[in-house]
Chain A
Amino acid sequence: MTTVQASTAVLGHPAPRRLGRFFSGGVALDRSLPSTLLFGVTALLLATGTLPVMDGELVLAGLTAAFVASLVSRLAGRASLTGDVGVVVPLVQLGAAGLLSAGTATPAVLVLALAPALTLVAGPGRRGVLLAALGTAAVLLLPDLLGSGSSPAEALFLAPLAVGLGGLGVNETTRRIGSQATRIERLEAERDQLLAQVQSRADELDLATRMLAARAQTMTSVIDAVTEQSIIGTDVDGIIRVWNPGAEKMLGLPRPDVVRRRSILEFHLPEELEAAGDDAEATPGLAALVRAAQEQGSDVRDWTYVAADGQQRTVAVAITPRTDDEGRHAGWNFVGTDMTEARATERMKDQFVSLISHELRTPLTSILGYLELVLDDDDQPLTDEQRSYLTTVERNADRLLRLVGDLLFTAQVDAGRFTLTPADVDLATVVRAAEESVRVTAANASVEVVVDVPSDGLVVPGDAVRLGQACDNLVSNAVKFTPAGGRVTLSLRSAWQTPDGEIVAEPCPDAAQVAQLAVSDTGIGIPTTEQGKMFSRFFRASTAQKNAVPGVGLGLAITKAITTAHGGTLDLLSAEGAGTTFTLTLPL
């Protein structure tokens, strides 16, 4: 940039431009200055008596003309007058020279005519040459005309001829120099324009370079600020090119020891790469590591990183391909989050849940088993009172057992270890079974349960046990939340679901057949503001708490999880004080 500016300054020196203007014609008035000086000297010589004054009037007229010409020349120069003024001034000066020559009767004074004659011939076009020749002839004739002397006839003929011919040469030279000067000026203008373009291009480049540098700096500073995640970039061969502080911390090696020196594979367990690789591959390598990312565009999974000290870390690594500025594949990015502790915690949670589940089931097995022995002992029959007490114990032990089951199931859903055993399940049977299981409770609570299912059944693909659990939850909830005298309706029907999710009774194009189970009650209802939270774990509606309906708030969360796992939906419609309808929709 500095070089460009410097050269502009040198090349753009203004001197040649003024030279050009001098030769380009038009403003020829500057050139009358020598004549003015010569007239001044002549006036001085007259004043001192060095030159004789033969005719005072002629001398006065000559000096006056010279003075006027000088004055016009100065004024015209200042006002930048052009055109004919440039011709008139030297012509007047020629006249002045002729008058002074006649007035002093000294031919030497004719030297004064030289400067204006030159000025005329140097002007633009041939007109100046003709004027100069004629002017010279007039000046030489002037003493004869005024009767103050005579010039030799040869002089009268030769002088204008000399002025004319010489003037032509001068005029041609001046013209050529003038046109060259014009060309130089045009070239200079073009050069200046080019220089300006170069300069603006240089400025743009400079700006772009600075922006790129700033962006690179931002990227680097962001990457360097990441200390808890490893960001590793490799080339296409897996050689490490980017290694952030997070990677330094996680793997225990400083950047200079790694960049361009090591392969990403050195930080992986060979057996893991082998397990991920193709059977056909002889050596496990980069291909195994990036296969999924190559096929799907990105890949996130757990890998074991081996740190410099040999310690192994479980790291969730997001792998993505990287491209260069021309879109060509340039390498791979590996962004890793250390999950060692998190995975250990998850394992502990799993172990804890199964331990708790085991530890709670074992005493419950004893309680329920011995209760059964006592209740069913035909040899030692119980009194009605004893039987009633022990039935209460049994009911509560069952409740505890269900709770343990629900907690375990919730933990399995959380851990993603919740699997279905698919089979053909007749939902009508499931609904009837659910009604049967609440029959006693409903009768005791004076709640009527109405079952409306297709007589020939409705079969869906699913897990019979889990669907039964979902249905039981909905039905037992409905009974639980319906006051005495109320009614619970279980209605099952097949319907069609349009692509936008709408349920219609009749088949229509693009609609998929579904099974719909609606469990409606005339119960206490759920406040509108709480309806969105009903499927959250451990959430209980305020109406449930107000009415002291027992429960922990797991049933609906479990039902929702089961429904989702079957590819179905669970919706609720409720009005506080009027009742609630849960609709379970399952694909056929």
Chain B
Amino acid sequence: MDVTGLRVLVADDEDDIRALVALAVRKAGCTVVDSVADGSAALDLLRVELPDLAVLDVSMPGATGLEVCAALRADPATAGIRILLLSAGASLDDVAAGLAAGADAYLAKPFSISGLVHQVHALTARQPA
């Protein structure tokens, strides 16, 4: 599967994890268009950059991943961006909330790099909604 050149935006308030996710995304063969630590900044960039995939942490300052998710889905211009949510909350309620907010997939922390790469491949291979 060739996903080379697909554009991905990473948003997580933890610097180490943001860098780790970016590394994994590059490892998957994608391009990281930007990585930010703030939810509202992420939303602004997403509206400008219109990447293929957004990897969003759930708990972020500015706006939570769930809020960013909902905002993207509400706007036809951004509704096609695929979304992968990351969260340290692993309960079913968290997963349900993430999917209800419009995410395409949900990954609980800690995740394995190979698992993340696999998810990125799976999501980017799918046709935009």
B17–A369 contact, CB under 8 A? yes
Interface check B74, CB cutoff 8 A: no
Task: Please give, as numbers and ranges, the residues of chain A lying within 8 Å of B14 by CB-CB distance.
Answer: 362, 365-366
CB proximity of A412 to chain B, nearest CB, Å: 8
- The reply on B110 being an interface residue by CB < 8 A is yes
A419:B92 contact, CB within 8 angstroms: yes
Question: Does B61 interact with chain A (Cβ within 8 Å)?
Answer: no
Partner of B88, one of A358, A369, A372, A419: A358
> Nearest B residue to A405 by beta-carbon distance?
B90
A421: CB under 8 A from chain B? yes
Q: Are A365 and B113 in contact (CB under 8 A)?
A: no
Task: Tell me, rounded to whole Å, the shortest Cβ–Cβ distance linking A417 to chain B.
Answer: 8
Q: A365 contacts B59, CB within 8 Å?
A: no
Mask for A508-525, Cβ within 8 A of B = 1, else 0?
Answer: 000000000000000000
Chain A residues with Cβ below 8 Å from B16 are: 366, 370
Compute how far the CA of A421 lies from the CA of B114 in the bound complex, rounded to whole angstroms: 26
Is the beta-carbon distance between A358 and B113 smaller than 8 angstroms? Answer: no
Please determine whether A365 and B110 come into contact, CB atoms closer than 8 angstroms.
Answer: yes
State in angstroms the CA–CA spacing of A366 and B109 once bound together. 9
Instruction: Please tell me if A293 contacts chain B, counting CB pairs below 8 Å.
Output: no
B5 in the interface (beta carbon within 8 A): no
In the assembled complex, the Cα of A511 lies from the Cα of B24 at a distance in Å of: 55
Contact status of A362 and B17, CB under 8 A, knowing A368-B110, A369-B111, A369-B113: yes
Q: Counting CB contacts under 8 A, is B123 at the interface?
A: no
Who on chain B is nearest to A370 by CB? B20
Residue on B nearest A366 in the bound complex, by CB:
B16
A361–B88 alpha-carbon span in the complex (Å)? 6
With beta carbons under 8 angstroms apart, the residue of A354, A365, A370, A405 that contacts B89 is: A354
Q: Is B101 an interface residue (CB 8 A)?
A: no
Residues on B with beta carbons closer than 8 Å to the beta carbon of A362? 14, 17, 88, 109
- The chain B residue with its CB closest to the CB of A368 is B110
A357 to B87, CA, bound (A): 11
Total A-B pairs, Cβ < 8 A: 52
Taken residue by residue from 70 to 111, chain B's Cβ proximity to chain A (1 for < 8 Å, 0 otherwise) reads as 000000000000000000111110000000000000000111
Which residues of chain B are within 8 angstroms of A412 by Cβ–Cβ distance? Answer: 91
Closest chain B residue to A420, Cβ basis:
B92
Closest chain B CB from A459 CB (angstroms): 22
A351 to chain B, nearest CB (A): 12
Chain B residue contacts of A354, Cβ below 8 A: 89
**A403 near B: Cβ within 8 Å?**
no
SS class, residues of chain A in contact with chain B: helix
Which residues of the partner chain B approach A364 to less than 8 Å between Cβ atoms? 109-110
Nearest A residue to B115 by beta-carbon distance?
A372
Given A357-B88, A358-B88, A421-B92, A372-B112 contact (CB < 8 Å): yes
Instruction: Say yes or no: B88 contacts A373, CB within 8 Å.
Output: no
Known A358-B59, A362-B14; contact A369-B89, beta-carbon cutoff 8 A: no
Asked whether A530 is an interface residue with its Cβ less than 8 Å from the other chain, the reply is no
On whether the beta carbons of A373 and B17 are closer than 8 Å, the reply is no
Contact status A365-B109, CB under 8 Å:
yes
A373 close to B92 (CB less than 8 A): no
Q: Is the CB of B92 within 8 A of A372?
A: no
Q: How far is B20's CA from A401's CA once the two chains are assembled, in angstroms?
A: 18
B23 within 8 A of A: yes
Q: Which chain A residues (376-423) contact chain B, with CB distance < 8 Å?
A: 376, 401, 405, 412, 419, 421
- A361 and B110 within 8 A (CB): yes
Over the window 1-40 of chain B, the binary record of Cβ atoms lying under 8 Å from chain A Cβ atoms (1 yes, 0 no) is: 0000000000000101100100110000000000000000
Known: A366-B17, A369-B20. A401 touches B92 (CB 8 A): no
Q: Could you say which residues of chain A place their CB within 8 Å of the CB of B24?
A: 369, 373
Nearest CB of chain A from residue B36's CB, rounded to whole Å: 17
- Smallest CB–CB gap between A118 and chain B, Å? 119
Q: Which residue of B lies closest to A372 (CB)?
A: B113
Min C-beta distance of A354 to chain B, whole Å: 7
Which residues on the A side are within 8 Å of B89 (C-beta)? 354, 357-358
- Give min CB distance, A176 to chain B, whole Å: 107
- Among A361, A373, A401, A405, the residue within 8 A (CB) of B113 is A373
Within the assembled complex, what's the spacing in Å between the Cα atoms of A366 and B15?
10
Q: Which of B17, B91, B92, B114 is close to A365, meaning CB atoms less than 8 Å apart? A: B17
Interface residues of A in 547-577 (CB under 8 A from B): none
Give the chain A neighbours of B112 by CB distance below 8 A. 368-369, 372
Most buried by B among A357, A372, A373: A372
Chain B residue at minimal CB-CB distance from A412: B91
Measured in the bound complex, the distance between the Cα atoms of B24 and A376 in whole Å is: 12
Give the residue name and chain of the B residue nearest to A358 (CB).
B88
Contacts of A361 in B (CB 8 A): 88, 90, 109-110
- Do A365 and B23 form a contact, CB below 8 Å, given A358-B88, A421-B92? no
What residues on A are CB-neighbors of B88 within 8 Å?
357-358, 361-362, 365
Instruction: Using A354-B89, A421-B92 as known contacts, say yes or no to A372 and B114 having CB atoms under 8 A apart.
Output: yes
CA–CA, A370 and B20, complex, Å: 7
6 contacting pairs across A/B (C-beta < 8 A) = A361-B88, A362-B88, A366-B17, A369-B17, A369-B20, A370-B20
Identify the B interface with A (CB < 8 A).
14, 16-17, 20, 23-24, 59, 88-92, 109-114
Extra inter-chain contacts (8) besides given A369-B110, A421-B92, CB under 8 Å: A357-B88, A364-B110, A365-B109, A365-B111, A368-B110, A368-B112, A369-B112, A412-B91
The 9 A-B pairs at the shortest CB distance, nearest first, are namely: A365-B110, A361-B88, A366-B16, A358-B88, A365-B109, A369-B20, A372-B113, A368-B110, A364-B110
